[in-house]
């Protein structure tokens, strides 16, 4: 099933670490300023709006989401709201789809209790745009701010995106290859983002705590009426998942911790955090190019292979043909992005050779030596940015051994995760019910062992 932005159901959806939704925005074709204020703003302060300033008596009787939407949208001074819709899907952040006198927009209401995570997302979007990544930006209010504080929450406004959204079940191998190629380029661009202010996840889990969490959830679900087959399947899956955890020996836990440490011994960098179909838009139905990537809120520091494995699971369900296409395109794209990033080094090498020919002294200026990491121009082997400040890697962009390690860690962390149960049965977020898996819990690693055979020889 394919959706374009002309459809009223075109979604602007978002999520947290294991969510499965996307939001809809224009692919960076925004004017330089709106009402005289720059679109991209580095968020020196939060724009405050009091509720009583925004409400009008003639709309007080309308639905709360419509009233809120009009109140929030008015801060941008872009016209009047004609209609409001809630997306059919979504996970963490509240989203309202607006039809207005100046066009369609999306209001994103963050669930964060603090402003800092919203600032980080907006700053990262601006950085990605500067790197040529089609990361749609939030619109600025007349005072230049992109964050609105309203009734104790934080909001941002995005215009709708142009393009085609292709559901994961409908993605062709060509679409999978396009996604892989784009992720390779994206990871190369993200490699240069400083780690200082980035969110970190060490992927550490505690099996005993997870078992207790499952028991607590079971008690909550027993109090919740099992309304339909989905509820019954969810309860059976939760029991199966807890029982699997209880069967894990101390040796298995130690092995899992060893795998986690080995994974984080690999180079780490900022990754998107939720790279999947609902956060991507294709330029058209040929699935040959990505026009927009959305939802930068979950971005965190981790090895690249972890994000790749997560996408193979969530989007492609480990289907061999599409996984092969994705991985092959990723590797080729990452190598190309590396080569482009190494172009300045070729310039430095030329400078070195010219200096050597002139002075015949056989030394490299300090700045060039630091960039090269070697005194042999003909054997330049740049080091990964995660371990050195001097240049990108030229090693295999995604060896199977790294994927194996990431798959083991991903499988273990997923087995300890109960996010979807909390969302549905504690927070009443029924939009994520469709992501509840089969009644029997089977760890991801079982499927990976079967599928990896197809990746060995290409």
Q: What is the residue extent of each domain of the chain?
A: 2-166, 168-203+254-338+395-455, 343-379
Task: Identify any residues that bridge with 211 across adjacent strands, giving them in sequence order.
Answer: none
Domains 2-166 and 168-203+254-338+395-455 share a fold: no
The yes-or-no verdict on residue 395 having pLDDT over 60 is: no
pLDDT at residue 427 above 80?
yes
Residues 262-284: tens digit of each pLDDT? 999 999 999 999 999 989 999 99
Q: Which percentage of the chain shows pLDDT scores above 70?
A: 72
What CATH number has the domain spanning 168-203+254-338+395-455? 3.90.1200
pTM over 0.85: no
Q: Is 438 exposed, middle or buried (0-12, 13-18, 19+ CB in 10 A)?
A: exposed
User: Above 90 in pLDDT, residue 435?
Assistant: no
* pLDDT range class, residue 68, cuts 50, 70, 90: confident
Kindly tell me if the per-residue pLDDT of 341 is higher than 80.
no
> What confidence tier does 221 reach under pLDDT thresholds 50, 70, 90?
very high
pLDDT of residue 264: 96
Q: Give the residue with greater pLDDT, 211 vs 12.
A: 211
Confidence band for 47, pLDDT divided at 50, 70 and 90:
very low
pLDDT at residue 237 greater than cutoff 80: yes
pLDDT at 29: 25
If one counts every other C-beta atom within 10 angstroms of the C-beta of residue 261, the result is 12
C-alpha distances out from residue 312 to 285, 305, 415, 434, 448, Å? 21, 11, 17, 19, 9
- Residue 91 is predicted with a pLDDT of 53
The three-state (H, E, C) secondary structure of the chain, written as one string: CEEECCCCCCCCCCCCCCCCCCCCCCCCCCCCEECCEECCCCCCCCEEECHHHHCCHHHCCCCHHHHHHHHHHHHHCCCCEEEEECCCCCCCCEEEEEEECCEEEEEEEECCCCCHHHHHHHHHHHHHHHCCCCCCCCCCCCCCCCCEEECCEEEEEEECCCCEEECHHHCCHHHHHHHHHHHHHHHHHHCCCCCCCCCECCCCCCHHHHHHHHHHHHHHHHHCCCCCHHHHHHHHHHHHHHHHHHCCCHHHHHHHHHHHHHHHCCCCEEECCCCCHHHEEECCCCCCCEEEECCCCCCEEECHHHHHHHHHHHCCCCCHHHHHHHHHHHHHHHHHHHHHHCHHHHHHHHHHHHHHHHHCCCCCCHHHHHHHCCCCHHHCCCCCCCCCCCCCCCCCCCCHHHHHHHHHHHHHHHHCCCHHHHHHHCCCCHHHHHHCCCCCCCCHHHHHHHHHHHHCCC
Q: In what order do the strands lie in the sheet with 47-49?
A: 47-49, 148-150, 153-159, 103-110, 94-100, 81-85
pLDDT for the residue 65? 63
pLDDT digits 0-9 by tens, 93-125: 677 889 999 999 989 999 899 999 999 999 999
Range of weakest confidence among 49-53, 68-72, 180-184: 49-53
* pLDDT reported for residue 94: 76
So what's the pLDDT on residue 330? 97
| Fold type of domain 2-166 | Phosphorylase Kinase; domain 1 (3.30.200)
* β-pair type (153-159, 164-166): unpaired
């Amino acid at each position: 099933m394919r959706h374009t932005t002309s459809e009223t159901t075109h979604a602007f959806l978002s999520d947290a670490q294991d969510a499965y939704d996307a939001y809809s925005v224009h692919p960076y074709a925004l004017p330089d300023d709106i009402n005289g204020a720059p679109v991209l703003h580095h968020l020196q302060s939060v724009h405050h709006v009091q509720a009583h300033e925004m409400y009008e008596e003639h709309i007080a009787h309308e639905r709360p989401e419509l009233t809120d939407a009009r109140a929030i949208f008015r801060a941008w001074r872009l016209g009047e709201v004609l209609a409001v819709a809630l997306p059919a899907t979504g996970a963490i952040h509240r989203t309202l789809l607006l039809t207005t006198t100046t066009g369609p927009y999306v209001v994103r209401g963050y669930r964060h209790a603090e402003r800092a995570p919203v600032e980080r997302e907006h700053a990262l979007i601006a950085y990605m745009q500067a790197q040529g990544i089609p990361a749609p930006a939030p619109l600025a209010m007349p005072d230049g701010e992109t964050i609105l504080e309203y009734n104790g929450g934080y909001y941002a406004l995005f215009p709708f995106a142009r393009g085609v959204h292709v559901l994961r079940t409908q993605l062709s191998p060509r679409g999978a290859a396009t996604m892989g190629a784009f992720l390779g380029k994206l990871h190369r661009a993200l490699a240069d983002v400083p780690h200082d202010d980035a969110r970190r996840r060490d992927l550490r889990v505690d099996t005993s705590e997870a078992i207790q969490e499952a028991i607590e959830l079971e008690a909550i679900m027993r109090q919740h009426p099992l309304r339909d087959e989905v509820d019954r399947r969810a309860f059976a899956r939760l029991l199966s998942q807890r029982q699997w955890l209880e069967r894990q020996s101390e040796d298995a836990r130690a092995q899992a911790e060893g795998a986690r440490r080995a994974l984080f011994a690999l180079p780490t960098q900022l990754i998107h955090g939720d790279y999947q179909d609902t956060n991507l838009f294709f330029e058209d139905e040929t699935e040959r190019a990505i026009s927009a990537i959305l939802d930068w809120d979950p971005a965190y520091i981790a090895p690249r292979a972890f994000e790749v494995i997560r996408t193979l699971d969530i989007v492609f369900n480990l289907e061999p043909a599409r996984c092969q296409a994705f991985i092959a395109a990723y590797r080729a794209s990452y190598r190309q992005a590396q080569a482009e990033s190494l172009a300045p080094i070729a310039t430095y090498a030329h400078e070195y050779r010219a200096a050597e020919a002139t002075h015949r002294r056989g030394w490299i200026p300090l700045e060039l030596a630091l960039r090269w990491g070697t005194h042999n121009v003909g054997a330049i082997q740049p080091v990964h940015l995660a371990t050195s400040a001097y240049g990108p890697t030229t090693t295999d962009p995604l060896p199977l051994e790294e994927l194996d390690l990431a798959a083991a860690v991903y499988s273990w962390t997923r087995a300890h995760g109960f996010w979807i149960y909390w969302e549905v049965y504690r927070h009443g977020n029924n939009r994520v019910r469709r992501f509840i898996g089969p009644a029997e819990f089977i760890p991801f690693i079982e499927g990976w062992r079967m599928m990896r055979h197809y990746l060995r020889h290409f």
